[in-house]
Amino acid sequence: MMDETLLTSLSAALSRQLGVKIQINRTVSIAGGDINDTYRVESNEGQWFLKMNNATLYPSMFAKEYDGLQTLGKTNAIKVPKPLLYGTAGAYAFLVTELITKTRPVNDFWENFAASLAQLHRQSNSTFGYHTSNYIGNLKQYNTAYSSWPVFYAMNRLLPLAREAFDQQKMDKETVQQLEQLCKRLPEIFPAEPPALLHGDLWSGNFMVGDHGKACIYDPAVYYGHREIDLAMTRLFGGFDTRFHYAYQAIYPLSHGWQSRIGICQLYPLLVHYLLFGGSYYADIKAVLQAF
C-alpha cells in the first residue's frame, strides 16, 4: 500500500497542476523495473501512470525523463505518454504521465512503427548531443555537444563506460585499450550522417501497442545521435519483427555497409548492461572488439 504522506503530496501536486481539486481514490501496483515502482492512479478526475523511486539515489532522473518525453512528443512523429508532472515527496521522487491502455496491434503495426520512427529520426539538430545530461537505466548519460558523431560516440558513450568498468575492476586494461583503439577508427567506420533525434534506449521493453493499435514508446534516453544506434538496439534483445526492419529500410534507407556497423552500435548498450548486470555481456563486448 502506498505511503499516505506520498499520496497527500501527490494529490496536492496534481491539484496545483490541473487547477482542480484532485482526490486519489486508489492506486494499483503495476509491474515495474529494476529502479522504479509503478502504479495506475485512479482519481475523481481520471487515471494516470505513476513512477516512483529513491530521490537520493537518482537525483533529477524524472526531471530528465519528463524533458525527454516532452521533446519526443513535440515532434508528433510517434506516440509517447504525455508527461504531466514530476517532483519529490519525502524520500521519494515521482513522475506522473498519461496512462496508456494496451490494445491489439493493427495489421500494419510494424510498418507503421517503422514509419513513425523514421519520421522521428528526420528531426535533426546542428550538433550531436542534447541540452542536458540524462540517464540510461540508472547510469548517467552525458550529452556534451560535438559536431562529429565519431567523437561524440567515443567521448560521451564508449570511453566513459569503459573507464568506469575498469575502475570497478570489471574490465581489464587490455580490453580498455582495444576500445580506445576502436574509437580512433570510428571516423573511418561511420559515414557522415546528420544528427537524428533518438529514443536512445529502444528495446522491446520500452514500447507497447497503444492507442488505435499503434506503437507507443516510453522510458527514453533522448539525444541527437546516429540513427543506426536506435536501429541496432532493436536487434540486440529481439522483440522486433523483421517487417519493422524491412519497412524502415524502404522508408529511410541506412547508409551502405550498415550491417557491418551493427556490432559497434550495440557496444554502448552492451557496456550499459554489463555495468548494470554483469554476466555474459562482457563476452559480447569482447566479441565485438575482436571483430574489428
| Partners of 89 in beta bridges | 92
* Integer CA distances (angstroms), 239 to 105, 115, 132, 152, 242, in order: 14, 17, 30, 28, 10
CA atoms within 13 A on the CB side of 74: 9
User: 248-264 b/e with 16+ CB inside 10 Å = b?
Assistant: beebbebeeebeebebb
- Cα separation, 250 vs 230, whole angstroms: 16
Taking CA 46 as the corner, what is the angle to CA 45 and CA 50, rounded to the nearest 5 degrees?
Answer: 115
Does 201 participate in catalysis according to the annotation? Answer: yes
67, 201, 230, 284: the catalytic one is: 201
Cα(16)–Cα(96) distance, rounded to whole angstroms?
Answer: 13
Which residue in 255, 218, 170, 169 sits closest to 32, CA to CA?
A: 218
* Measured distance CA(267)–CA(179) in Å, rounded: 10
Contact (CB, 8 A) for 128 and 200: no
Closest CA to 270 of 139, 128, 144: 139
Q: Which residues are catalytic?
A: 201
